[in-house]
Amino acid sequence: MREQRSITLGVLAVFLLLVVACTQTTDAGITGTVKTKLAADDQVRASEINVDTAKGVVTLTGNVDSEAARDRAVQLAKDTNGVRNVKDMISVRSGEQTGQAPDPNRTVGERIDDAGITMRVKAKLLDDPLVKGLKIDVDTRDGVVYLTGTVPSAAERTQAIELARTTEGVKNVEANLG
């Protein structure tokens, strides 16, 4: 009886070790680990970055306020066990004239205007039959629309940019669509 119990515990221990090992090296496990690292980091806002993994290649998309935040996110992903490569598709928001990130102390009205622009652009992307709007992240700062994501064709990329550019209130479009 004791021997059978020892064997059962041994098999269970090996099974648990395999589950833990597989979880860390599967694409879903890698994605989860990278997201956790981003969320725990003080320099990166995890909510601004999307993480996808395919065959050990991590693709980071989104919009951040600084090169330092982008570099940190890429480094965190590279340092994750099981990651073979990191595809950096993160855009850094910049002020239209100054090349600096916009003032985070913008007025409520400015934020509402930008939110409205984002909603209008996203609605256009979702309504268009050519564009896969769910695959494109839309962010707006000071009237500048940032499009980030993966599109399968140049035609879809061009259409997404044109839809954003012709939206009321849009001053400029920055596209990071691969």
pTM of the entire structure? Answer: 0.54
d(CA 74, CA 88): 7
Q: How many CA atoms lie within 13 A of 174 on its CB side?
A: 20
Reading the block at residue 34, the tokens are 């990278």
pLDDT at position 10 is 58
d(CA 55, CA 118): 32
pLDDT at position 5 is 58
What does the pLDDT look like over 118-140, one tens digit per residue?
899 999 999 999 998 888 888 88
Q: What integer best gives the mean pLDDT of the chain? A: 80
Q: Strand, helix or coil at 160?
A: helix
Sketch the domain layout of the chain as residue ranges: 2-92, 108-177
Q: Which residues pair with 63 in a beta bridge?
A: 91
- Say whether domain 108-177 belongs to CATH 2.60.120: no
Amino acid found at 29: G
Reading the block at residue 81, the tokens are 């066990």
CB 81, CB 24: distance < 8 Å: yes
pLDDT at position 98 is 34
pLDDT at position 48 is 82
47: which DSSP letter?
A: G
What does the pLDDT look like over 144-175, one tens digit per residue?
898 888 888 999 999 999 999 999 999 999 88
* CATH number, domain 2-92: 3.30.300
pLDDT at position 138 is 87
